[in-house]
Structure 1
């Protein structure tokens, strides 16, 4: 398993970031997996969710 990039590597979050939507994006994937698809939650899956969602929250993603 690869380590997640640090905030210093990716850069600052978007200034107009809606933190509630960001939290929904992270938790929504976990709850869906647990309650709808009934697949197990694992550290690897959680890492994949964070690695997928976090770059989209950062200003560098727009550059």
Structure 2
């Protein structure tokens, strides 16, 4: 995914993917940014180490 971040937007496994609310809002906002796919990949890359709860809280903080 890091090499082909567009797969995040276009890939079949991600089409019906339900993210926590704050992460989904961040994903939608990043769609309008040139490197938004890469930024979202970076965010999702934090989940294994920090946990989904911490990543969603960070996304919510960024939105606030």
Return the TM-score normalized by structure 2.
0.33
Return the TM-score normalized by structure 1.
0.33
